[in-house]
């Protein structure tokens, strides 16, 4: 009896087989009372296929697969008795023109550690989850946008490493439970975003050139170890986001490229099917079986591994047919323009499906253009993502922060412009790994001036980011002002925390994160002018920004004042909307952040004195690069 039934074939052909990872690939099963593994692979244009592996001495003629009838879909199947957990295997595919291809299993749940490229037999069904309460609470979430979200972006292989080991010294998924989770909890992040989890062959791609869309990378342990890490994150009330890469895949011989001797997973026309800049293949989003492959991968991460969200990489490269291409290198759509209509429909399908089946989960777009309604509803012709990375804010912010403070007055608009379009999408403000690699400098070394000024610049920049509407993402190491650019080949420079300047920066970011979590004004109304109000957006001459963040109930609103020059303003006065007492809850001049430690009053009562166009105001001596946050 075939493992892959007629119903399976029908659903797969419609791109609606939502548990395809339980059918294609290698799965333990019993046939006629005999325990073994059933292998199923989709390869419609193959002439013959054999399963070769450690269990048959890699004998290329021992175990030939059978093409299931009717053969129009091209599913090949074979049951082999007696195979043990961890056995390695590949498919030997003979093409119709007589070539022989040695391919890893596209649906494998585990793989051999690189540089090996074989798939590995494993059972991912026997992990005992204990996060039922977390999953129930997630499913009951009525408004994801009214919840706090501060994301710690982590590349597991270079966050921390074991010293002196002969292998790579990677922390395993279980090591990360012991060390990463407590660190994230202590710092005050709400989410961990993991780079490079789907299996990939080349470390230097950071996991963005995937060969195993259904397999957690074996660099850090087994699928069960990975599940344990997620389970423990949930136990400690930390959400987990994974990077997911449906935009392209590498040309490695064992991978998806020309899988059965033809362009099976990619567009056949190289003008649609290849990224000339990246040397990779583009998925054929018009082919149902390919769409099902990607949809099944997304569903497996969220439904089987309990992942709380996917950050979708390189969305713009999928939406535009001419992305990274010169004239003659791309083909217009049926309307003659550059939109990939099949990719648009794919996003509408996958986002609606995942969010509909998994309330409380999120889909995040890394989309770098002005494509409209990325987070809009499908009914309004939107793509239905939960959030979009705000790359515009990031570029303007970094352009401003790099400037000598003397020239900031002429670029004041770079820090206020994002509010003019803030309501158009649901945004995440990001300072990601992409901003601290390839000669871009670390965050601290983007800052102008001598070392002391660099730290003060970065402190005020982080405070502005934390106060500005939008959820937050900060790449690992930047919270303590890593000096070097990031490299996947070494761990972060944790020794820097022995230096007081770096420790003060870590204290500052930690304080900002805890203030963020404790104050709904900073996250409840991120995409509405109801949650934000400029006090003075036009103080360009002094390069000071003052604004208010408001909560839904109007209680515990916050007033931010950020000075982006080294000039002390001892006569500074800030206008306020209400005749209230304003309580100082954050002062960058405190000793724990490397400031003077000079004592200041906690409470500031406003008086009837017009300032900043407001009827009330109070005086606050503002240090150079000073930040003050008040609650009222």
Domains 147-362+376-389 and 529-631 share a fold: no
Is 313 assigned a catalytic role? yes
Tell me whether strands 212-216 and 558-563 are parallel, antiparallel or unpaired: unpaired
Q: Are 351 and 297 in contact (CB under 8 A)?
A: no
Fold held by 6-120: Immunoglobulin-like (2.60.40)
- pTM of the predicted structure, to 2 decimals: 0.96
Please tell us whether the domain made up of 529-631 is placed in CATH 2.60.40.1180: yes
Considering only CA atoms, which of 349, 265, 350, 342 is closest in space to residue 302? 350
Angle at 446 between CA 443 and CA 451, to 5 degrees: 90
Average pLDDT of the chain, as a whole number? 96
Q: What is the CATH number of domain 147-362+376-389?
A: 3.20.20.80
pLDDT for res 1: 57
* Per-residue b or e along 514-541, where b marks 16 or more CB atoms closer than 10 Å to that residue's CB: ebbeebbbbbbbbbeeebbeebbbebbe
Q: Which of 243, 313, 367, 589 is catalytic?
A: 313
Helix (H) or strand (E) holding 102: strand 100-103
Burial 331-356 (b: 16+ CB within 10 A, else e): eeeeeeeeebebbbebbbbbbebbbe
Is there a contact between 315 and 322 (Cβ–Cβ < 8 Å)? no
Q: Which pLDDT score is estimated for 211? A: 97
Provide the residue ranges of all domains of the chain, joining segments of one domain with +.
Answer: 6-120, 147-362+376-389, 529-631
Active-site pick, 232, 258, 366, 367: 366
SS3 at position 101:
strand
H-helix or E-strand spanning residue 428: strand 427-431
Q: Where are the alpha helices (DSSP H) in 477-541?
A: 500-518
Sign of the alpha-carbon dihedral angle for 486, 492, 493, 498 = positive
Q: Is residue 425 flagged as an active site residue?
A: no
Low-confidence spans in the chain with pLDDT less than 70: 1
Q: Tell me if residue 522 falls in helix, strand or coil.
A: helix
> DSSP string covering 406-440, please?
GGGGGGTHHHHGGGGSGGGS-EEEEE-GGGGSTTS
- Residue 607 has phi, psi (to 5 degrees) of -125, 165
Asked whether the beta carbons of 19 and 296 are under 8 A apart, the reply is yes
């Amino acid at each position: 009896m075939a493992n892959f039934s007629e119903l399976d074939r029908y659903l797969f052909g419609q791109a609606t087989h939502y548990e395809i990872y339980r059918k294609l690939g290698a799965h333990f099963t019993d046939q006629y009372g005999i325990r073994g593994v059933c292998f199923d692979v989709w390869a419609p244009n193959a002439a013959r296929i054999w399963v070769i592996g450690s269990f048959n001495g890699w004998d290329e003629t021992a175990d030939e697969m059978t093409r299931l009838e009717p053969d129009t879909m091209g599913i090949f199947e074979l049951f082999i008795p007696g195979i043990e957990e961890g056995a390695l295997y590949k498919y030997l595919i003979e093409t119709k023109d007589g070539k022989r291809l040695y391919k890893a299993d596209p649906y494998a749940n585990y793989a051999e550690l690189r540089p090996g490229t074989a798939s590995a037999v494993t059972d991912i069904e026997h992990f005992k989850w204990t996060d039922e309460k977390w999953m129930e609470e997630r499913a009951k979430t009525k408004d994801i946008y009214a919840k706090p979200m501060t994301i710690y972006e982590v590349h597991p292989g270079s966050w921390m490493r074991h010293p002196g080991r002969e292998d790579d010294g990677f922390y395993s998924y279980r090591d990360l439970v012991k060390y990463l989770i407590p660190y994230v909890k202590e710092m005050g992040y709400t989410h961990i975003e993991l780079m490079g989890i789907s299996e990939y062959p080349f470390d230097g791609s950071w996991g963005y050139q995937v060969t195993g869309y259904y397999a957690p990378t074996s660099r850090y342990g087994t699928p069960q170890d990975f599940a344990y890490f997620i389970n423990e994150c949930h136990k400690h009330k930390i959400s987990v986001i994974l990077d997911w890469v449906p935009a392209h895949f590498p040309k490695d011989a064992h991978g998806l490229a020309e899988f059965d001797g033809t362009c099976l997973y990619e567009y056949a026309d190289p003008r649609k099917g290849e990224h000339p800049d990246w040397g990779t293949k583009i998925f054929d989003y018009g082919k149902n079986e390919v769409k099902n492959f990607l949809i099944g991968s997304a569903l497996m991460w969220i439904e089987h591994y309990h992942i709380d969200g996917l950050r979708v990489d390189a969305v713009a490269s999928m939406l535009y047919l001419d992305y990274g291409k010169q004239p003659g290198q791309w083909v217009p759509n049926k309307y003659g323009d550059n939109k990939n209509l099949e990719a648009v429909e794919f996003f509408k399908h996958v986002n609606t499906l995942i969010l509909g089946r998994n309330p409380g989960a999120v889909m995040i777009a890394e989309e770098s253009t002005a494509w409209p309604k990325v987070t809009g509803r499908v009914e309004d012709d939107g793509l239905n993502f939960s959030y979009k990375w705000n790359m515009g804010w990031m570029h303007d912010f970094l352009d401003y922060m790099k400037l000598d403070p003397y020239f900031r007055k002429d670029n004041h608009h770079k820090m206020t412009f994002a509010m003019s379009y803030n309501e158009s999408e649901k945004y995440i403000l990001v300072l990601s790994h992409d901003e601290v690699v390839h000669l871009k400098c670390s965050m601290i070394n983007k800052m102008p001036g001598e070392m002391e000024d660099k730290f003060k610049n970065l402190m005020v920049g982080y405070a502005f980011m934390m106060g500005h509407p939008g959820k937050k993402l900060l790449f690992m190491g930047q919270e303590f002002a890593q000096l070097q650019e990031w490299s996947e080949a070494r761990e972060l420079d944790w020794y820097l925390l022995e230096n007081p300047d770096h420790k003060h920066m870590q204290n500052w970011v930690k304080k900002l994160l805890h203030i963020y979590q404790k104050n709904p004004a900073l996250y409840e109304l991120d995409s509405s002018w109801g949650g934000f109000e400029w006090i003075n957006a036009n103080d360009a001459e002094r390069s000071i920004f003052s604004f208010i963040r408001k909560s839904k109930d109007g209680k515990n609103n916050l007033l931010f004042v950020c000075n982006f020059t080294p000039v002390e303003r001892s006569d500074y006065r800030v206008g306020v909307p209400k005749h209230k007492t304003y309580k100082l809850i954050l002062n960058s001049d405190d000793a724990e952040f490397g400031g003077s430690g000079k004592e200041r009053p906690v409470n500031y009562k406003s008086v009837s004195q017009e300032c900043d166009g407001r009827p009330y105001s109070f005086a606050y001596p503002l240090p150079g690069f000073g930040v003050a946050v008040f609650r009222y």
